[in-house]
Structure 1
Amino acid sequence: MDGVEEKKKKFPPVPETLKKKRRNFAELKIKRLRKRFAQKMLRKARRKLIYEKAKHYRTDYRQMYRTEIRMARMARKAGNFYVPAEPKLAFVIRIRGINGMSPKLLCLRQIFSGTSVKLNKASINMLRIVESYIAWGYPNLKSVNELIYKPGYGKINKKRIALTDNALIARSLGKYGIIYLYCWKRFKEANNFLRWRCWQQGRPDQQAY
């Protein structure tokens, strides 16, 4: 028995530094797991919110479209003409004039860069002043979606970053309640964030998006 006790006494005790290191590692692991779980729950809640908002917008767009069709049919049936409401949004592309003329108010500093403009009397007059340097028209929902999803870029940390994930939008515009690409209630903030590019290489012979 004495020999066994002597052998047991020969094992060196675990150093306090090693114990502290193991304890810190266990605490760090627990923190990482908690953070990962919190991020997972946040992504899940955000996906659910995006789905609900997208569903709401889809219902609104469908209702607006059906209302337009119904009003046109009623007017035609009564022998009248239905005049739809004037567009409230225009999309402007710079097509010429890098040297000598700079439409800075529209933030069109490069050829084939674009921007969205809310239409009113002042903005229409401004567009007419620079009409020889730009091309503009009225976008529909399909063209706006294609402009955002295909060549869509955003201004993140003063850099032009491709919009590949809603997390990029939520990180930059979440303080305005914008967490995905269909939130346009805060038009000014969303438009300042987006960086439109209507041609891949900025040459007119290339296919436009």
Structure 2
Amino acid sequence: MEGVEEKKKKVPAVPEIHKKKRRHFSELKVKHLRKKFAQKMLRKARRKLIYEKARHCHKEYRQMYRTEIRMARMARKAANFYVPAEPKLAFVIRIRVINGLNKASIKMLRIVEPHIAWGYPNLKSVNALIYKRIYGKISKKQISLTDNGLIAPSLGKYGIICMGDLIHEIYTVGKRFKEANNFL
């Protein structure tokens, strides 16, 4: 019986290389989990920022729309006419790109009007066009914009980090319209 007890007491030693391997693997796993958690928190913060910006833009669009209606009603009540502001953005099809809309470009469009289609877009048409047919210039290549991760590296320095920001900048012809338009 003593021989059996000796065999039970002797446990085969684990080679040192296996111990190091296990320790290294556990350290890598901890590093990987920390990195994954940090990325998750970063995505969560970005998503929150995007939602806040979208809420702000929606509020601004609604305020613009309500202001137009209110001004027209006030003018009608006072037996006057309300003339809305000149549009800043135009869609032109089959002609060179027009970044700024001024009297000269409007005259030019009137001359070639029988041969082209053009008009002033609303928010819905800008939204539809950008979400359906948008390509961005990323490292001198035309790449289809499928998610916000493609927009932020190129236009993030201008404060445009998502599709909503891009639509807002195009529709309102904001301060960074030129950069946003050149990106498309």
> Under TM normalisation by the shorter chain, which class is it?
0.7 to 0.9
Task: Report what 2:146 is aligned to.
Answer: 164
SS at match of 2:133: coil
Counterpart in the other structure of 2:16 = 15
What value does the CA root-mean-square deviation take over the aligned residues? 3.0
- Aligned pairs for 1:29-178 within 5 A: 29-94=29-94, 103=96, 106=97, 117-121=99-103, 124=106, 135-178=117-160
Q: 1:156 touches 1:172 (CA, 8 Å); kept in 2?
A: yes
Q: Secondary structure at the match of 2:121?
A: coil
Indicate if the aligned counterparts of 1:89 and 1:139 stay in contact, CA closer than 8 A. Answer: yes
C-alpha contact 2:136 2:142 (8 A) present in aligned 1:
yes
Unaligned runs of 5+ in 2: none
Secondary structure, aligned partner of 2:90: strand
Deviations 1:127-164 (A, max 9, x none): 67987875432111111000011222222233332222
Counting aligned pairs with the same residue, the percent is: 74
Match of 2:181 in 1: 191
| Aligned equivalents of 2:44, 2:105: Cα separation in 1 | 41
Q: Relative to total residues, which structure has the larger helix share, 1 or 2?
A: 2
Q: Which moved more, 1:119-128 or 1:39-48?
A: 119-128
Is the Cα–Cα contact under 8 Å of residues 92 and 117 in structure 1 kept in the other structure? no
- How far does residue 62 in structure 1 lie from its aligned partner after superposition? 1.0
Contact 2:68 2:84 in 1 (8 A): yes
Tell me the equivalent position of 1:24.
24
Query: What TM-score comes out, normalization by structure 1 length?
Result: 0.69
- State the Cα deviation string for residues 75-125 of structure 1 (Å, max 9, x = none): 222222211110111223226xxxxxxx4xx3xxxxxxxxx6232356557
Paired residue secondary structure (1:118): coil
Relative to 1, partners in 2 of residues 1:4 and 1:90: Cα closer, same or farther, differing over 3 Å? Answer: same
* Structure showing the higher strand proportion among its residues: 1
Report if aligned partners of 2:99, 2:178 keep a CA contact under 8 Å in 1.
no
Pair 10,39 (structure 1): closer, same or farther in 2 beyond 3 Å: closer
CA distance in 2, matches of 1:187, 1:163: 18
User: Which stretch shows the higher mean deviation, 117-126 or 172-181?
Assistant: 117-126
What one-letter code is carried by the residue in structure 2 that aligns with 1:172? S
Moved more, 143-152 or 118-127: 118-127
Equivalent residue pairs, number: 175
Q: Any idea what SS the aligned residue of 1:89 has? A: coil
Structure 1 residue identity aligned to 2:164: Y
- Is the CA contact (8 Å cut-off) linking 1:91 and 1:117 kept in structure 2? no
Distance in 1 of aligned mates of 2:73 and 2:28: 67
